[in-house]
Amino acid sequence: MSNVAENLKIVQQRIAKAAVSCGRNPQDIRLISVSKRHPVTAIRAAFAAGQVDYGENHLQEALTKITECDIEGIRWHFIGALQSNKTRSVAQYFDWVHTVDRLKLAERLNTQRPHHASPLNVCIQVKLIDEPQKTGCSPDKLEDLARAISVMPRLKLRGLMCIPPPMTDFVGQRDRFLELNKLAAGLNLGKMGLDTLSMGMSDDLEAAIAAGSTMVRVGTAVFGPRPVKPV
């Protein structure tokens, strides 16, 4: 078995154990393997081991890999910083985007999603604490943005995403993730039918699952340490 296949198994076991220990069904948590900076050979190995969802954060690198991979049934998630000049390619080549944080981006994606494709799955990235250099929608603007996206025909609002600052203690990690869960629950009162909390990475996926995560984005634990330069 390749390293990647073995790592995937270990990560799936971590997910299952975390789910069971808080009374959740492991099937309700989807693993997004974050393949950024790793070569297409690693993606092929993971796909052969049954892994379907891949996260990329650098558009140019992702487009090269998506074209090169050309695997039927693979799903691509854009998880990087989103700017207006990137929306067209994201709308064209990805199945999911986790990092929408303002109306203008959503409007562009909605206009640019090709008509032969199903609506683009969208998560709103939320900024949980006020750090000026951080991207993400602030909680007080969240409801307006969610309402606007929920009526866009070429987008499907699925939920919320966050990237909290790294913390080492489980309780601290979990409490941050619970804030996102609460924000999502507040929106669901408006019957938007959200079903996704995109939160948790290699070092905090257990805490994220304890706080209700439905998608963990895991890079290092699946593919090993990232090469310094993109492939």
Ligand X SMILES: *Cc1c(COP(=O)(O)O)cnc(C)c1O
Binding site for ligand X (CB under 6 A): 34, 36, 57, 79, 163, 201-203, 217-221
Give which of 6, 47, 12, 10 is closest to 27, Cα–Cα.
Answer: 12
| CB of 31 vs ligand X, minimal distance in Å | 11
Please, what is the angle between helix 40-48 and helix 59-69, to 10°? 50
Q: Is residue 40 a contact partner of residue 65, using CB atoms and an 8 Å limit?
A: yes
What is the smallest separation between the CB atom of 208 and ligand X, expressed in angstroms? 11
| Minimum distance, C-beta of residue 220 to ligand X, in the bound complex (Å) | 3
Q: How far is the CB of 16 from ligand X (least distance, A)?
A: 18
Annotate 81-98 with DSSP letters as a single string.
---GGGHHHHHHH-SEEE
Residue nearest ligand X by beta-carbon distance: 219
Would you say 137 or 218 has its CB closer to ligand X? 218
- Within 10 angstroms of residue 5's Cβ, the number of other Cβ atoms is 15
Residue in 28, 24, 86 with CA at minimum distance from that of residue 57: 86
Query: Which C-beta is closer to ligand X: that of 57 or that of 213?
Result: 57
Amino acid at 8: L
> What whole-number distance in Å separates Cα of residue 18 and Cα of residue 15?
5
Q: How far is the CB of 202 from ligand X (least distance, A)?
A: 3
Nearer residue to ligand X within complex by CB, 9 or 147: 9
Nearer to ligand X, 57 or 121 (CB): 57
Residue listed under structure tokens 């640019």: 112
For ligand X, give the closer residue by CB, 153 or 166.
166
